[in-house]
Chain A
Amino acid sequence: MIKALTIEDRLGLNKFVVDEETAHITVNSEMCATCTAKPCTYACPALLYTVADGQLKFDYAGCLECGTCRVVCPKPGAISWEYPQGTFGVQFRYG
């Protein structure tokens, strides 16, 4: 039987080299608090944007580096987006 996998299980298939020092994507909590739609919370293919205690949180460790959040964000500047530093981040073995 084919079963739907949780997002955690799917990200667990991948190899990540996490930059423990620097987050390559950060969110501006104040700007995000004024955003009602929060499309990042459903559009992110890795579902890394979550709201906890009314605050938007982003967990950069499982990022697939696609850039969807950057494009979908209705508040210019709310998401500060860079690629991880060289050698860090997701490492596709198939791609």
Chain B
Amino acid sequence: MAEERMDAIVVGAGPAGSAAALTLARAGAEVLLIDRAATIGSKNMTGGRLYTHALNRLVPGFWEQAPVERRVTRELVTFLTEESAISLDFKSRKFGQNSYTVLRARFDPWLAGLAEEAGAMVAAGIRVDDLILENGRVVGVRCGEDEMYANVVIIAEGANCLLPRKAGLRTAEIDPKHVATGVKTTIELDRRVLEDRFQLRGGEGLAQLFVGSVTKGLPGGGFLYTNQETVSLGLVITVAGMVQNPVRPADLMEAFKCHPAIAPLIEGGRPVEYSAHLVPEGGVAMMPQVTGDGVLVAGDAAGLVLNLGYVVRGMDFAIASGIHAAEAALEAKAAGDFSRAGLAGYERRLHESFVLKELEFYRNAPHFIESTPRMFGAYPALIEGILGRMFLVNGTTEPQHVLQAAMAEMQGKASLWQLGTDAWKGVRAL
């Protein structure tokens, strides 16, 4: 066959794909970045906040030029019951450039644009239907009638992970225990109102995670991120949780919005978008094979998300994996070997970098979160009860020490033994 063969084809122009294409293009490789969206970024969605470290290595000080929203200077974790909100509020100058809130329809075209400026070809509005295999080796992609060939195909198509199956890299169906559904409402607020309401100055931003009644006690939680002139408000709930306890995420979203602790934050705001996305939360347990002959898998498609409850990370993992995939492809090009063995540098790099070091380290976190339902129901109620006994004053109840109050509140919610084992498991998993 005398077809033209590129160095690499990257499927999907999210953070993983664009980081891969940029790395390849900078090294002088001939690379095609394909995305099904008519406008790059318009199929992509996040909670969302981007931890800067991974992209900062590729584009130092990127926040100076990228369309990021706000620099996060205030972190809140909130336990929510139907009537109460109990928060840990961490405001610090130490955050520096740690993370920025982002909106992907704005951010992603910028990163793909960098890849294009560096020499990558960007093809928008084209869906990759299939991979082309020759003797079990991936040699290209099929888009409708068109066939395009490359020495390496980097799959960065996102959480639904359809193409790795076609390459034989994933055989099992996605396990409902390993993914969560995220829904989000983007709400427009006047910039001044937003900054006053959330106690922010200039480009400062807030990130808040919620656990408890937002998911009706099921594994998952809520989030609120402040953007320049919008607020990203949403929730994530594990698919397995929904199977066992029929709840509608669409309804949970509206109940969350109307919660007495949330409603005043978005009062006067105008909803401008409603979006949803799968979150691959299973960690290393759900990773497909990420290297095959002529093919690599990066980002959400490889299940590279870390959810610790208080920190949720995906885009930094996506970017680092995209960079590593590109580096491995360049190494394979230099050696003229695009087999699985020739591309082994990808997994080696994932293991050497934070990507698999952290996912391996926290490998028990997904199971802990999913198997400790008390985290989402009984414990928020317990904290509410104890604080209620401490702060509500009526002059008639028998005086109690905090410990007595705590013991009384635990009745019917959790035993000391459960609290102890959950705490022990938690501090070891998270």
Contacts and interface: CB of A to CB of B under 8 A. Distances in A.
| B126, B232, B242, B275 pick with most chain A CB within 10 angstroms | B275
Contacts of B407: none
Interface residues of A, number: 43
| B39, B127, B253 pick with most chain A CB within 10 angstroms | B127
B71 interface: no
A13 to B, nearest CB: 5
Given A42-B248, A43-B181, A11 B274 contact: yes
Given A11-B274, A92-B45, A93-B273, A45 B249 contact: yes
Interface in B235-280: 239, 242-243, 246-250, 253-255, 257-258, 262-263, 266-267, 271-278
B44 interface: yes
B185 interface: yes
A28 interface: no
A92 B275 contact: yes
Nearest to B186: A94
Give the interface size class of chain B: 35 or more
Contacts of B106: 94-95
Contact of B104 (A42, A67, A95): A95
Contact of B125 (A47, A65, A86, A90): A86
Given A1-B267, A64-B274, A72-B242, 7 more contacts: A14-B274, A42-B248, A46-B250, A64-B276, A66-B182, A70-B160, A93-B105
Contacts, number: 150
B103 A94 contact: yes
A92 B276 contact: no
A17 B36 CA distance: 13
B295 to A, nearest CB: 19
A43 B263 contact: no
B230 interface: yes
B104 to A, nearest CB: 4
A67 B185 CA distance: 18
